Chain A
Amino acid sequence: MSEIKKIEPKEIAIRAHDISVSMENASVPEYDLLSIIGMAVRLSLHLRGVPAISYDVVRQVAVYLLDIPSVAIKTILEFLAEAEFIRLITEGKTIKTIIPEIPFYSDIFDDLGTLAQDGHFNEPELLTLSLVLRLSQSPIPQDHAYRLGADKDLVDKVIDIGTQGSFIVSTRARGKNILLSPTYFPENNDAYSDLVAGHSAGRVSKVLDLLKKYQGWPLSLIEKENKVGEEPIDYKDIAVLKKLAGDGFIPPPAIETTHSGINYFVFGPRPGLGRIHPSERPIYESAMALVAAVRQGQLLPDRFSIKDPVALLGALKSRGFIKANTEALEQYKQVAALRVGKLEEIKPGWEQLTLIDRPENIKAVDLAIDMVSGEISHPKSDDEILIALRKGEKYIESLVGRKRIKEEKKISVDEATQQTLDEFLLRGRAGD
């Protein structure tokens, strides 16, 4: 299978990490190098900037906090040492101390992915990487998975592993099986499945890619100009866009102005990975309202347009306000309603948006900046674990104490493999 040659080293590391996180501590007999890379990425993200640490502490953190099986740790550390991300102080063959030297600016994913390319992935691993990469772009009908160039049985086996390992969700819509990545499409599963079942997966992927780049673009402008940003689209793409703004998805923010009426602003999948925590949802909604407001000023202004929305949002964060103008009242009404900022009349008809200084509002502005600038999120470290590692052994112990007993999950083998195994156990040899 030559698909892997087409996957960028960085993508290999990111997808392997996604799979490893989704599977938690589940082990899959078919995955060898893939699991090692995924777990190595996860561990290295948490070791950056950390002082020297004993092997025992790393092992505890890995097993209890990062869901890395105990038996894999030595191999992972040796892989990271080969990448020159850590140095191992040994006594004979025993690893005693780890000195992390994870670079801050070199791309962890690229470096580890490049090193992984030198290794040998087996067929199930290659297929898994290709499939997960495809699913990161958009959900697909199951039929499309068979076009990746692998044997049908192998595809079914990987889908089975993926659903048991929680890195693939399989749903049914309009009589079709739809596959979806819960890492990249954690919400609105049924709505996305229905969208893919009703339109071509390639089209949905194209539209989602455009929306990741041009988050919060006004639907009316898209319909009028037949393009999103600078990219042309056709009426079928617009149908997909309208579906994304419709039932089942997060309702798009709307702004009503006297000069351009009611406008809806469409959004792609939320930046960031995994399901949004309920407490974070208002932050996401505030960020969408902010993006919609600056897009209104940028693309549908009355008299004065916003030239650089990222700079404007940056000023809101650093300065705490956006200078007064005559269009602010209509533009930022929803932002004020969500208590992100307040509108203050500076002189008759001129309103200034002042940021309400609360941590959740700062987060909303940061997220809005990421959305407007089209930032792509990469996997990040868990702050709690990172701080514990920097504080030292005592703090790690208290964190680990909460998760002491860890049960290792195994993903069951498929029917054919099970039969071969049973036969082997009964007959003492493999089938003829």
Chain B
Amino acid sequence: MKDAHQKEMISRHFGARGWYTQIETPVFFESSLEAKPKEITDIDVLALRPGNDLRWELILADCKTRKGQSPVNRALWIKGLMDYYSATSGIIILGGSKNIEKDHKLFAADLNITILHESEFDNYDRSIIYPDGSKDYPVSAEDITGLKNLGERYPKIVPLLNYIYCIAWNEANRIEYIRKVIGELKSTSKEIDPNNNDHIAAFYEACSIFSIGLAECTGIVFNQYLKPDTKKDLDEALRVIIWGGRSQYEFISKLRRELMTAKGVKPTELTLPNWDIFIELSRNLLENPRLAFSLPYLFQRVSVDIQKGIDVLSFTGKNELLLLKFAMLTSQYLCAAAQLPPDFCTESRGLFDQKQSGIVHE
């Protein structure tokens, strides 16, 4: 891969800014006519960053080393993807000739796209992440790709990984992650080995994706209701948001009720598993909703650290205590909802317990 060094530069830069990053994300057409949707293209590097109004902002990056690439053509190409994914901005790193036409740059800037020649990147990086830039940021593109390629060694967990790295990014709505990650994790739960660090790393990647949906949901609830006074209010708000609107919820709920009755099973309310715990988790996040948007990044760092076998979350300190508590509550919920082995849940809890206690006594 000729553009690997460019992906490395931009993924480190995104990570150093505290953004959740993915590399080489395949693009499918959601409403494909094919039985199995085919990959149309891919996004070299993408990042999710928290917006100012408790919404996600998606950033797309395109890397090209070949000579003769028209900068403005690349800008128009990425602009198409930005529109399709409702991305906020784009960045293009080009190799080849250093002379990028000023008008191409201006045209791109007008579309919220930054065009940089790879030789300019260091300057850009050091200015944005002043003064050292992102070169010492400990997570490399290879680390992230390493997580993504776990399926090559563990085919039984491929469906989960496939959701995390492919399907999730082609969902029309990030709120879907909440339901679907629980579902994918639950169907893989029997394959997860609590003693296998790679499996543990995959679980925290699942936590990352789950928490992207959870943060979005938290932002919507907060913007609409602030902190609902009663459990009933939050319960109702969450059901409507998670199932994509009241009518959708009622429709699915009715369908499910009829199905259960037909099977001779006593119908139960349509909720996520361990619903009361999920409501409490959501209420906890509403105490500091902005922090919910840092969870995916934190979980990704846990995954990388575990897979590399290094001290987990060594970068956290007293300022991250509440974030660590949120991470602990989120991972515990997901463990319970997906019915992961009990010792897996205990281990995960122990990890966050020890981390928090260690920081408290620093």
Contact = CB atoms under 8 A, between A and B. Distances in A.
Interface of A: 49, 51-54, 87, 89, 96-97, 99, 101, 103-106, 390, 392-393
Contacts of B287: 49
B357 A51 contact: no
A176 B114 CA distance: 86
Contacts of A104: 280, 283-284
Contacts of B231: 105
Nearest to A393: B318
A105 B359 contact: no
Contacts of B318: 392-393
Interface string B252-287: 000000000000000000000000000110011001
Contact of B356 (A49, A99, A106, A393): A99
B283 A105 contact: yes
A89 B230 CA distance: 31
Contacts of B283: 104-105
Given A87-B353, A99-B356, A105-B230, 8 more contacts: A49-B287, A51-B322, A52-B357, A89-B354, A89-B357, A96-B361, A104-B283, A105-B231
Contacts of A105: 230-231, 234, 279-280, 283
A51 B324 contact: yes
Interface of B: 230-231, 234, 279-280, 283-284, 287, 318, 321-322, 324-325, 328-329, 353-354, 356-357, 359-361
Nearest to A105: B231
Contacts, number: 50
Contact of B360 (A52, A101, A106): A52
Contacts of B280: 103-106
A97 B279 contact: no
B322 to A, nearest CB: 4
5 contacts: A54-B361, A89-B357, A97-B356, A104-B284, A393-B318
A330 to B, nearest CB: 34
B321 A51 contact: yes
A96 B357 contact: yes
Nearest to B353: A89
B62 to A, nearest CB: 40
A392 B360 CA distance: 10
Contacts of A101: 329
Closest 10 A/B residue pairs (Cβ): A105-B231, A52-B356, A51-B321, A97-B357, A51-B322, A104-B283, A89-B357, A49-B287, A54-B360, A51-B325
Given A105-B231, A105-B280, A51 B356 contact: yes
B321 A52 contact: yes
Contacts of A51: 321-322, 324-325, 356
A393 B279 CA distance: 29
Contacts of B329: 101
A52 B325 contact: yes
B125 to A, nearest CB: 33
Contacts of B284: 49, 104
Contacts of B325: 51-52, 99
A89 B355 CA distance: 11
A99 B284 CA distance: 13
A294 B279 CA distance: 36
B360 A97 contact: yes
Contacts of A390: 322
